[in-house]
Chain A
Amino acid sequence: NAGVTQTPKFRVLKTGQSMTLLCAQDMNHEYMYWYRQDPGMGLRLIHYSVGEGTTAKGEVPDGYNVSRLKKQNFLLGLESAAPSQTSVYFCASSYQTPGLAREQFFGPGTRLTVL
């Protein structure tokens, strides 16, 4: 079991470029999440998905789009990167527990720098 994997691990972009971050999980989890983490800010939720074909906005969705075409994959897109999107991006997944997702399994992160 690989758990949650993220591709790529590092990336440097120029302002205005686009890219897609890929998250994959092999635990058959229903729920998947994208977070960004900035120094002193903790984890902030960008978008999440409660099942294949569904997505929803989190706390800081502006400038990002997501897709969940397959249950095991959750893609995060930046259409026109800005320096403010320099951050570490974490993907997470969890089971559909009765009511609420309490334990999330995190990927290793993607360090993105936008120049």
Chain B
Amino acid sequence: GQSLEQPSEVTAVEGAIVQINCTYQTSGFYGLSWYQQHDGGAPTFLSYNGLDGLEETGRFSSFLSRSDSYGYLLLQELQMKDSASYFCAVSSYGNNRLAFGKGNQVVVIP
């Protein structure tokens, strides 16, 4: 089966760094994805980790440790537009779908 845990909310000032953690428990783990969703909007894809280590995309980085069943999303140089919910999602062998965590809301303040 699959289960994902994400803490619920964090508030940070512009320019700061925020780390959003995700622990998962799943059989046949394949990879970990991250999605961003602004209030009232649709989720949009941010990054994917299929192998252990860090993936960097501009101000955002994502990390995966398969041995620890753990990943994180790092948001650097926070901007007001980064205020959103962030979801991790697990993909597994043998099923063509994603299992999403409950999400973590990030509030950026001036």
Contact = CB atoms under 8 A, between A and B. Distances in A.
B96 A102 contact: no
B64 to A, nearest CB: 12
Interface residues of A, number: 26
Contacts of B44: 106
Interface of A: 31, 33, 35, 40-45, 48, 50, 58-59, 90, 92, 99-109
29 contacts: A35-B100, A41-B102, A42-B101, A42-B103, A44-B100, A45-B97, A45-B99, A58-B97, A59-B99, A90-B42, A90-B43, A99-B30, A100-B31, A100-B91, A100-B92, A101-B96, A101-B97, A102-B31, A102-B33, A102-B98, A103-B33, A103-B45, A103-B48, A104-B45, A104-B98, A106-B42, A106-B44, A107-B42, A108-B42
Interface of B: 8, 30-31, 33, 41-45, 48, 50, 87, 91-93, 95-103
Given A48-B96, A90-B43, A102-B31, 20 more contacts: A31-B96, A35-B100, A42-B87, A42-B101, A44-B100, A45-B97, A45-B98, A58-B97, A100-B30, A100-B91, A100-B92, A100-B93, A100-B96, A101-B97, A102-B50, A103-B33, A103-B45, A106-B42, A107-B42, A108-B41
